Structure 1
Amino acid sequence: MKSMGSRDRLSAASAASSHRRLLFVVFASCFAFATFLTFLYTTSHFTAAASSSSGSGTASDSASISTATADGGGAASLAARSKSNKLPLPVFDALVHFASISNATHRMSDTDIRAISAVLRDRAPCNLLVFGLGAESPLWLALNHGGRTVFLEENEFYVKYLEPRHPGLEAYDVSYTTKVRDFRDLLAAARASRAKECRPVQNLLFSECRLAINDLPNDLYDVAWDMVLIDGPSGWNPTSPGRMPSIFTTAVLARSGATAAKGPTDVLLHDFQFEVEQVLSREFLCDENRVAGSGTPSLGHFIIRGGGPTDAFCSGSSESGEKTRRRK
């Protein structure tokens, strides 16, 4: 058998190459056509779905508006939607249980954790303001599922440490200029200017009272806080900032602006057994607002209502004793 000549081999190779090019063109044309059909189908399907969703959303919105109108306003409807985000009770109880048996260092006592959780169970989901970051911070964030929880912390490095480790944690560092050793002088100054810079109802953003915290992000002063937990800043020694500013600021927040307008505010003061907390709570949170039978020896529970006298935090003397009121 004779071998194929060079010309024959070139002709065969050229024919094979042309055949492959033809197959490639046919394949590419079919792929492009299929892609085009898929695009048309997807676009048509998406438009139909969007129209259907828009129609049902409009109907739903109309029904909501009608219901709200029939109820006499949208507040009840909003509250119902908020409560639908409430953490299921078994999940809530399980979180509290495991937190109360935790062996984490520097944590609250079991009774304090359960007392705070009991109040939060009634209010959540809500706007919760917490002074201080600690071992329990992830718990408060979880228990207030569906609400907004904001932490204020004196140690900016602790804020930067915890935020990446707990997604969703909203925390801001606060610079305190007060010292525990000066608390009586600060209290005397606040009493002297109770009708002016340190008055009970005011815009804290512009306050010149030495006990007022006025350097927070501006929007925080416009939030209607339902509950405030005071567990900071530190106050273990004479040079610590002490909780004078957080107690005073909370007392003003509860009586002013959006917080006062939405109704009573639950205020929980941790380490209630210490002198600064005792004296400042009598002065600004008031014994008449303390809830009897609530809290623990190391946890004071107060319910603060908005408004009141322009030059006094409490209805009676700051030395009003142990008079308390029961929550209705």
Structure 2
Amino acid sequence: MKNNINLPILPERRLFIALSGIALIAGGLLIFTFAGTDSSRFFCNQSDSDNFHSKTDPIQLKSILHYATSRIVPQQSFSEISVSFEVLRSIGPCNFLVFGLGHDSLMWASLNAQGKTLFLEEDPTWVQTVLKDAPELNAAVVKYRTKLSEADELMQTYKSEPECAPAKSYIKGNDRCRLALTSLPNEVYDTEWDMIMVDAPRGYFAEAPGRMAAIYSATVMARNRKKSGVTHVFLHDVNRKVERDYANEFLCQKYRKHSVGRLWHFEIPPAGNVTGGNDGVWFC
């Protein structure tokens, strides 16, 4: 996820952000390292017999080194990162899908070191740039069919397309629903994601893809969950109109659990667990 707007950052502010990010990662790893066999209290585990080992994962060590020696820090604030970090501590090892690849990607992968973390990015050149320095990351290039300038039209017309309806609720091969992401890697369709972070694609100028399709598709994937429990969906940049409107339409305010800075956190239940409401006509 490349920075949307390049604003000047005072040296003191940059240092504070960097130290905060480092403290978050290093603090969690120190707890993990010294917790020994009781580390499952702090990091996610699949079962009592499948706890994290006390040995720190190599990607975690690389993450500490990277952020300790870099002036480029994650786009999200300390308080925003902390929301996702708390969820990562409580579930997993997680299947974590992230829309966007950027300066925070190594951090997310290290915090979910023994889980599956996949990054989806629109810019193939940017993918090559990031993977050159962090080849351990699992990233794929995604093509979007929408533009930000179409956001209002898509919001008005999707309800008239039966293939977009909650009752259909599929994205792979759903060419008639323009909000469905139909060209994702099969790994995305074949995996049930415990966490989905929507912090891309770009959504700050008319010809950019916008996050309409990412929000819709994340909702559909969450509703199609077969495993027990909810899907945690995080949406960044909710200070922007399109992100707010599409979150209210698809992710639903009744499922919102946290609102911190520019981040909203939703817990989306499987569609089969939802009773009452609008008879499946709309998402919320």
Greater Cα shift, 262-271 or 119-128: 119-128
Structure 1: distance between partners of 2:245 and 2:96: 24
2:283 to 313, 316, 319: 313
Shift of 1:102: 6.4
Which secondary structure state, in structure 2, belongs to the residue aligned with residue 134 of structure 1?
A: coil
Shift of 1:265: 0.3
Distance 1:242 1:87, change over 3 A: farther
1:120 to 75, 88, 91: 88
User: What amino acid sits opposite 2:164 in the alignment?
Assistant: C
The answer to whether the aligner puts 1:230 opposite 2:195 as a matched pair is: no
Distance 1:78 1:297, change over 3 A: closer
Across the two proteins, how many residue pairs are aligned to each other?
231
Which structure's residues are more often helix, by fraction? Answer: 1
User: What amino acid sits opposite 1:79 in the alignment?
Assistant: S
User: What amino acid sits opposite 1:132 in the alignment?
Assistant: G
Distance 1:282 1:216, change over 3 A: same
* Cross-structure match for 1:218: 186
Structure 1: distance between partners of 2:117 and 2:75: 19
* Cross-structure match for 2:160: 192
Structure 2: distance between partners of 1:217 and 1:86: 33
Which secondary structure state, in structure 2, belongs to the residue aligned with residue 249 of structure 1?
A: helix
1:123-170 per-position Cα deviation (integer Å, ceiling 9, x unaligned):
242100000011000000000011000000010111122224223311
Which secondary structure state, in structure 2, belongs to the residue aligned with residue 300 of structure 1?
A: strand
2:241 to 264, 275, 299: 275
Distance 1:300 1:82, change over 3 A: farther
Shift of 1:295: 3.9
Give structure 1 stretches of 5+ with no counterpart: 1-76, 315-328
- TM (norm. structure 1) is 0.63
Which secondary structure state, in structure 1, belongs to the residue aligned with residue 264 of structure 2?
A: strand
Q: What is the alpha-carbon root mean square deviation over aligned residues?
A: 3.0
Shift of 1:266: 0.4
Asked whether the equivalents of residues 266 and 302 of structure 1 are also in contact (C-alpha less than 8 Å), the reply is yes
Structure 1: distance between partners of 2:68 and 2:181: 32
1:299 to 263, 266, 278: 263
Shift of 1:279: 0.2
Distance 1:134 1:219, change over 3 A: closer
- TM (norm. structure 2) is 0.73
Q: Tell me which structure has the larger Cα radius of gyration.
A: 1
* Cross-structure match for 1:202: 169
* Cross-structure match for 1:154: 122
Shift of 1:298: 0.2
* Cross-structure match for 2:30: none
What is the 5 A alignment of 1:237-256?
A: 237-256=205-224
Structure 2: distance between partners of 1:86 and 1:250: 33
Distance 1:222 1:160, change over 3 A: same
Asked whether the equivalents of residues 87 and 144 of structure 1 are also in contact (C-alpha less than 8 Å), the reply is no
* Cross-structure match for 2:47: 79
Which secondary structure state, in structure 1, belongs to the residue aligned with residue 159 of structure 2?
A: helix
Shift of 1:262: 3.7
Shift of 1:81: 4.0
2:252 to 280, 286, 306: 286
Greater Cα shift, 225-234 or 105-114: 105-114
Shift of 1:107: 2.3
Greater Cα shift, 262-271 or 98-107: 98-107
Distance 1:162 1:87, change over 3 A: farther
1:232-288 per-position Cα deviation (integer Å, ceiling 9, x unaligned):
0001112211100100000000011xx343431000001111101100000000000
Percent of aligned pairs sharing the same letter: 35
* Cross-structure match for 1:142: 110
User: What amino acid sits opposite 2:134 in the alignment?
Assistant: H
